């Protein structure tokens, strides 16, 4: 994971533009990143590439929860990922990269690197 003190933060969009329970895709430091806002206004960022299908579709996934974990389900094969850790809750052999994300001065920022 990126050291957030040395990270280069990339502004993605104004906070109100990202609707709760939705995702958006953004190019961050050359990587496609999916950013999500949950119902409680928490922000999460993961790779936009589905690690099983190989397609760049995770930003279109279904946001939800499993237990206390905020999750996103792949829109292709429906594997569920913990947005906090990137762990696939359906297959412990699979994970997706997570990125530091923050709200600063009303804008969503993601750490590149």
Architecture of domain 14-112: 3-layer Sandwich (2.102)
Task: List the structure tokens of 19.
Answer: 């609707």
Q: Which residues pair with 22 in a beta bridge?
A: 37
Q: Mind listing the pLDDT tens digit for each residue in 71-105?
A: 999 999 999 999 999 999 999 999 999 999 999 99
Average pLDDT (61-70) is 96
- CA-CA distance, 87 to 25, in Å (whole number)? 20
112 within 8 A of 5, measured Cβ to Cβ: no
pTM to 2 decimals?
0.91
Full DSSP string of 60-100: GSEEEEETTEEEEE-TTT--EEETTT-BBSS-TT-B--EE-
């Amino acid at each position: 994971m990126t050291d957030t003190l040395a990270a280069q933060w990339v502004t993605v969009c104004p906070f109100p533009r990202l609707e709760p329970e939705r995702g958006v895709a953004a190019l961050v430091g050359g990587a496609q990143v999916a950013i999500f806002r949950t119902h409680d206004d928490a922000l999460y960022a993961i790779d936009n590439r589905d690690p099983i299908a190989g397609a760049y579709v995770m930003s279109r996934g279904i946001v939800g929860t499993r237990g206390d974990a905020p999750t996103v389900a792949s829109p292709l094969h429906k594997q569920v990922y913990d947005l906090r850790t990137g762990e696939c809750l359906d297959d412990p052999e699979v994970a997706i990269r997570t990125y530091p994300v923050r709200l600063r001065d009303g804008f969503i920022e993601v750490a590149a690197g």
